[in-house]
Structure 1
Amino acid sequence: MRLGTRWAFGSEPPVSVPSELRERIAAAETAFAGDGANRHWTLTWLEGRPIAELDDGTVVRDTIVDAHDADEDW
């Protein structure tokens, strides 16, 4: 079992955040362009794979999934 962690939007991710997610997290933060006040990331593990989720539902894993994307298929 791996423990997750939480950190503030715009700050350096904790060491436990895998390097492959760091670039994707930075890209997601850039997309918000200053609209990250009072937001936080949460790192969880699902079946051994890391998932970072922003408070608004934006998810970063293999790709960035915008929670507000109307074209998402469920």
Structure 2
Amino acid sequence: MRLGTRWEFGAEPPASVPAELRPLIATAESRVASGEGRHWTLTWLEGRPIAELDDGTIVTTGALPDGGDEDDW
């Protein structure tokens, strides 16, 4: 089992965030108008890292099940 983590928008991601996810997070942050008070949450689904911003922005290294609707998997 892998544990997730949380960190503030705009801050350096913790060491537990995989290297391949870091540039994707940076790109997502560059597209958000204001990240003030927001946080990222890192979770793992079937061994894949998923970072989700409080506004619902999701960054992952692969497609989410059923096209991204987390309620249906």
Shorter-chain TM range is: 0.7 to 0.9
Give the secondary structure class of the aligned counterpart of 1:41: strand
Q: CA offsets per residue over residues 10-40 of structure 1, 9 Å max, x none?
A: 000000000000000000000114x000000
Query: 5+ residue gaps in structure 2?
Result: none
Secondary structure of the 1:29 match is helix
Aligned to 2:40: 41
- Distance in 1, matches of 2:17 and 2:39, equals 14
Summarize the Cα distance change of 1:31–1:47 in structure 2 as closer, same or farther, 3 Å threshold: same
What SS class does the counterpart of residue 14 from structure 1 fall into?
A: coil
Say whether residues 1:5 and 2:5 are aligned partners: yes
RMSD: 1.8
Which has the larger share of helix? 2
Secondary structure in 1 aligned to 2:27?
A: helix
- Consecutive unaligned residues in structure 1, runs of 5 or more: 64-71
Distance apart, 1:73 and its partner CA: 8.3
Q: What is the count of residue pairs matched by the alignment?
A: 65
- Aligned residues with identical type, % of pairs: 69
Aligned to 2:14: 14
Q: What CA distance in whole angstroms lies between the structure 1 residues aligned with 2:9 and 2:57?
A: 12
Large movers: runs of 4+ above 3 Å: none
